Each structure stands twice: as C-alpha cells, then as structure tokens.
Structure 1
Amino acid sequence: MSLRRCLPASLFIWCSKDQTILVLALCVLFGLPPFARAGGDGTEECTAEKSLSFRGGTARLENDLFVGTDQNYTNGVALTLISHDIRGKPQPDCFPTPIRLHTQLIQLMNPGFWADAHAPDDTQNLVVRFGQSMYTPEDHTRTDLIRDDRPYAGLLYMGLAWNRRTHEPGSNREMLDTREVTLGVIGPWSLGEESQNLVHDAWGSDRFQGWQHQLDNEPAFQLAMDRKFRKFEGSGAIIPGFSADTIRSLGLRFGNIETSATLGIEGRIGWNLPNDFGSYPLRPGAENRPPSAASIHRKPGNSAPVTSLPRTGVHVFGILEAKAVAYDFSLDGNLFRSSHSVSRRPWVGLAAVGISAQGILAERGVRLAVMRVYRTREFEEQSTSHAYGSIALSLEF
C-alpha cells in the first residue's frame, strides 16, 4: 500500500504501511476527511463534495426499566454518526477503505441502487452505527437453565448504511432507500453480562444470576434493505408552521441476527416538523437525517431561505409495524451450534408513541426524542407482551 495521508483541518497525519488500519479507523470514527491521493500519481485529488465527512450524530438508549420491568429485550445502546449529504453518484475512491469496500459491496449486491443518481434533488448519506443489545429471561434469581423462557443473549455490532433520498421531478412523493451491512459478535464477547452488571451495580439493583447460560460466541451478520415513502416537502430543514404527515415503510433483513420482513407506518403532527423520515426504535437507517439539517448543510446567520435553516419545533408521533420473522438469534439461539432456544412466533406487532423536540444550541441543531414502545408476544412461552422506553439525543457538529 502506498503512503497516504488524512487531512483533519490543519493537521497532517502521515500513514505508513503498518499504521494504515489504525488511521483508517480514526478517520471513520472521528469524521476526518478521507484520503487524498498524492498529486504525483496522476490522479485528481478528491474534493470536499466528493469526500466523506460527518456532520451529526445520535446517542440512543433503549431500556425496559423506563417502564418498570427488567426482562426480554432489556437494553439497547447505540452511537450513530451521519455523514454530510452527497449529491449524484458516490465515488468510492474518495472514501476510506472500509467505506469504499462497503460501497462496492452495495453496488455488487444491488447494481441499480445508484444507477439513476443524477436528479438534482437526489442525495445520499452514510450512517455508521456502533451498538449493543441484550436480552434476559424474566426471573433474575435463577442460576439454572430456564428452558421455558428466552435465552440470555448479547450482541455487539457495527453497521454501515447508505441512505438514498430520491424525488422524481413532477411527483409529490419522495423515498428514502437504505442498504445496510451489520457485522458483530453474539455471546460472551458481546460483553452483555459485564455491561448489565455495571449498570445494575451503579443503580443498586440485583444482578441477573444466569448469564453462564447465555448463547455461545459466534460471528453476527445481517443485510438490510428498507424503503420509506412520504409526501415531498422540498429540501428545507423543516416544514414550517403547524402540519401533519405520514411515513410508510417496507423492510427486509437477512442474516443470523435477524431474518424478517416488515411493513409499517408513522404519523406525526406538530409545529415545524423536521423534513426527514421520522423517529423510530433502533433499526437500519433509523438515523437517516440529523435533526434540523437541510439537504445542503447550512447554519443560522446566512442568507438561505428560512425553511432551509434549523428552527425550534415540537411534534408528537405514533408508529405501527407488523413483522414476519423467519429467524431471530435472541429466540432461535446460535445458528452454528446447538443452544438454548424457545418457540418463536412468526408474526410480531409493534406500536410506539412519543414526542420529539428540536432547537438551536450554540448555533447547532439539537433534537431530543422520547418514546414508549410496545411489542406483542415474540415466543410461545412468553406470558405477556413487552414494553420498553427509548430516548435519543441528536446533535449537529
């Protein structure tokens, strides 16, 4: 590999062959501009518009302690980074190696994803997500294997997703297509037990005693395709004034994390609605647009139209989703070896209600969204439906 450099503002970090992997990770994690090719090799240097940088992020916590329980899907945390919008067809050569490989994989699996990426209103961005999810049975005191309740299970993962927002000229509808690849680990290496013990010790709660029966270590993999539809409202950051809208969604997932198909709808009503694709629990493409961000990133104080600028707003929302499930690691157990499992139900329903507010803090867009999520029974041995709370804080850098 030839010598390359990363260009964070005024700092030059020169990467030797042995340092390349480390610097790649730092560039991705901290949103540093990607590689610029040395002028001596005859290639054109990547411009800022063609390169990748991150403009916002979201920290999300989901936990059933918010609703007074401690079982089933008991905790989920995620840190999400969202890139600036890229117009036209992405140029993989302008991205760090992991992003370039991911982009080429998407092109290989779905050749038509960027085939018509030429319309002026079409944009795409990249979402990078690091997260952990954990699942436990109902009785935290038992040390034996609880065969009629769900397994102890943890998942530690990283996901890369491209979101492509498209609008056909003359149409009153726009779409958001998502293609995500998630890699991770299931089992003790996911650190589910350690994470739960740390939180329970901090809160003074009793530890769960059966983690020795959790699923075994194995690699985790998932491909996801999502499509969302909504009324076209232009390219501004907000829909000014009081309004309401609906967002419909379709989704497919394949892998040993989950294999499923979903159909959903979200309704929103409020003041200065964000011109995005909604708020929902953790799933591919969930953080598709940083709040209070226009398709072209602008900040207060410039001469852009008022609808292109971040503005204070608040709205309530409700979500309904139906899911057909063919495989779920937290219920079916390990894929590559025998393990504890339960009788998964093939159909699951989800409903959520919440409130979201965005505003300006130190000339940066800020958004806080809280919701309560309800799930129908996911396996035959489950006695009741399950509920949990979700809170997400989003910032623009």
Structure 2
Amino acid sequence: MLTRSIFVAVAALSVAAGAAQADDAHRFGLLEENDSLYTSYDRHYTQGLRLSYLSPDLAARGSLNAPFDLVGGLLPIFSDAGSAARPRRIAVFLGQSIFTPQNTAVAAADSRDRPYAGWAYLGASLLQESNRGMLENLEFGIGLVGPGALGKMAQNDFHQFIGADTAKGWSGQLHNEPGVMLTYERLWRLPLVEVAGLGVDIVPQLGATIGNVFTYGAGGALIRFGRNLQADYGPARIRPALSGSDYFDSAHLDGDLGFYAFAGVQGRVVGHNIFLDGNTFRDSPNVERKIFVGDLQAGVSVFWSNAVQMIFSAVHRTSEFDGQRSPDVIGTASVAFSL
C-alpha cells in the first residue's frame, strides 16, 4: 500500500521551505518504496517508508565529532579529523518495511513462498566526505521484527481505507525478535566529462552489513548525467539496496539548480536475511534463500540548492529465494528539504 497522502503533504511542505538554502541548514527526508508505485503488484518486499534527518556540517572541534574520533581510533576509518577537506555530518532515521508472499488472498502459509513479516527500526549514520570525492558511511540500526512492528495494521488498515483487498495470512508472520544491523560502506565520486555545466560521473561503492536481520557484502556502481553532481552520491535507499545516503552538500554548487538522470547496478552476497531464513531462535516459516542477489536501478533527481530535492526511480531486483516465480520491480519516490 502506498502512503500517497503523506508523501504529497511533505512534498508541499518542502516547497514552502524553499527559502532555507544555507549549507548549515537542517535537512529532512521522506522516502517511499513500494512494489505498486509504478506497477499493479503487491508482493514480497511490498512497502518501505523511511524518515530521516541530516545534520549541518559539524564544527571541526565540536562535541559531535566524538563518535567519529572514537571509531577512528579503533579502526582505519574517518581519518584526518577536523580537516576542512573532510566535512562530517550525522544522520538519524526511522522506518518500517513490510514483506508478504505473492498470494495474499489465502490464510494458509505457503511453504514455497516468503513469509509475512514486518520490520520497524531506527538508527544513525556517521558520514564523512574526503576531498569532495569519497564518502564513508558507518550506520547502526536497531528495531523489531514481528507483530510488534505493526506490519499487519499498516498494510490492512490502508487497504481498507482505499477499498482494496486485505492480506489474509498475517497470522503466520514471523515472531517478534529484536534486530540489529551494522553497516560500513564507501562511495567514490569519479568525474568523467564536464561540458557547459553538464557532467557525467560514476559512483563506485563497496560495503558490508552484519546483524541478525541482514548479513551481506555488496559492490556496485551508479552512473549519472546532469548538473551539479557534486551535491550528493546518489539517492538514499532502504536496505538492502543499491547504496546511496542521506548526505548532501550544497557548498560547492554552481548555481542553485541541480538535476541528474542515473542508472546503477549492485550485486550482493547474502549470508543471512531474516525475512527469508526465518526467526533466529524460534521455528518460523522460511524459504531457501539465494546467495547472490542483484539490483538494477534507474531514475531522476531534481533539486534547488539544498532547499528541496525530489527523486523518482524504479528498481529491478533478481529473485531472492528458490521458487520465486519472477523478479521484483520496486518503485521509489523521495523528497528532502531543509529548514
């Protein structure tokens, strides 16, 4: 189900907030992912909603640098603390994801299809850019899988509201289980061509996630064509997905208007996916997970300085488990604005 009313309301608010353009502004984002956004499907990863906040650039010696310095003292990341060429930001986020089998009209669980599950979470990211060409993202998330994530309520209440059929099999969803994830990734922005204010770049990416919700390694790249590509490293996504981030920096823009078309690919080696493997410590529905999964993504981004940005894309995801009848197509839409 698509939270269209929420998205439209926030989009309208973002336009009203267009006067905030300083790089020290506070940035807010709303991301919607839904398999029926651009298609008529309602299956598998069927809904994701994510709200985020991105801090202004941290002062070089401010107290919020402490987490970066602590991690940097233990691991070979977040080097050259306090350098003007390495701006830092903190992002916080919360969200909910919903998973269902392909056939939601029957109450009995199908052992050949993925189980029902909800996932509600919150988390934080430490983001550091180096020399306007490399971004590090260390992210920690914590949440709840199971009935306490309110997946059944979110899906069926919305379906009742719009007059659509409700999903019948939520009584067989995964059990309640606390979930944690730790992710580290690097993204590089490599300019290829720039002519008359328009450019082409490629954003390679490598990363890994560990936890009882997801464990996987990932690698991929995004190619972009447009104007003011240096503002970000591609669109944020809900994990697991082609890597992007909440990071945005308008300090070096050439004029306020920015836009780009993008296409990307990511491959993942999946060691664990609770929404396919089932609960960690209790018997629960499950299917045979595939180890190799890939995403293909294409879309457009338009922004006016850091005041407002809107992104629309479609994702083709390869089969995630044995017996999956066809790949999935996921629509995404997001808006971000500064206050």
Please state which band the TM-score falls in when normalised by the shorter chain: 0.7 to 0.9
Aligned length: 312
Which of 148, 155, 159 is the aligned partner of 1:189? 148
- Deviation, structure 1 residue 266: 0.2
| Change over 3 Å in CA distance of 1:120–1:107 after alignment to 2 | closer
1:154 aligned partner = 118
**Helix, strand or coil for the counterpart of 1:339?**
coil
Mapped pair 1:178 → 2:149:
no
CA distance in 1: counterparts of 2:69 and 2:282, whole angstroms: 32
Bigger RCO (CA 8 Å, 6+ sep): 2
Q: Which amino acid counterpart does residue 30 of structure 2 have in structure 1?
A: A
- Deviation, structure 1 residue 116: 2.3
1:289 aligned partner = 247
1:327 aligned partner = 272
Which of 43, 48, 51 is the aligned partner of 1:76? 48
Q: Which amino acid counterpart does residue 82 of structure 1 have in structure 2?
A: L
Encode CA deviations 1:201-253: one digit per residue, 9 max, x unaligned: 122110000000000001010010010011379xxxxx982111110100100
Contact 2:127 2:247 in 1 (8 A): no
- Deviation, structure 1 residue 276: 1.4
Contact 2:228 2:253 in 1 (8 A): no
Q: Which amino acid counterpart does residue 245 of structure 2 have in structure 1?
A: E
Which of 231, 246, 269 is the aligned partner of 1:275? 231
- Deviation, structure 1 residue 357: 0.8
| Change over 3 Å in CA distance of 1:116–1:313 after alignment to 2 | closer
- Relative to the length of structure 2, the TM-score reads 0.85
Contact 2:48 2:95 in 1 (8 A): yes
Q: Please list, as runs of the form range in 1=range in 2, the aligned pairs for 1:132-171 lying within 5 A after superposition.
A: 132-167=96-131
Which of 205, 211, 234 is the aligned partner of 2:164? 205
Contact 2:191 2:201 in 1 (8 A): no
| Change over 3 Å in CA distance of 1:329–1:145 after alignment to 2 | same
Runs of 4+ in 1 over 6 A off after TM superposition: none
1:264 aligned partner = 220
CA distance in 2: counterparts of 1:383 and 1:321, whole angstroms: 21
Q: Which runs of 5+ in 2 are unaligned?
A: 1-23
Contact 1:164 1:178 in 2 (8 A): yes
- Deviation, structure 1 residue 115: 4.3
Tell me the C-alpha RMSD between the 2 structures. Answer: 2.5
| Change over 3 Å in CA distance of 1:209–1:310 after alignment to 2 | farther
- The higher radius of gyration belongs to 1
Contact 1:355 1:371 in 2 (8 A): yes
1:65 aligned partner = 36
1:46 aligned partner = none
**Helix, strand or coil for the counterpart of 1:159?**
strand
- Deviation, structure 1 residue 151: 0.6
CA distance in 2: counterparts of 1:341 and 1:371, whole angstroms: 30
Q: Which amino acid counterpart does residue 375 of structure 1 have in structure 2?
A: R
Encode CA deviations 1:129-188: one digit per residue, 9 max, x unaligned: 100001000111111121110010110000111011112xxxxx7211111110000000
Q: Which runs of 5+ in 1 are unaligned?
A: 1-52, 95-99, 168-172, 234-238, 296-306
Which of 365, 372, 389 is the aligned partner of 2:307? 365
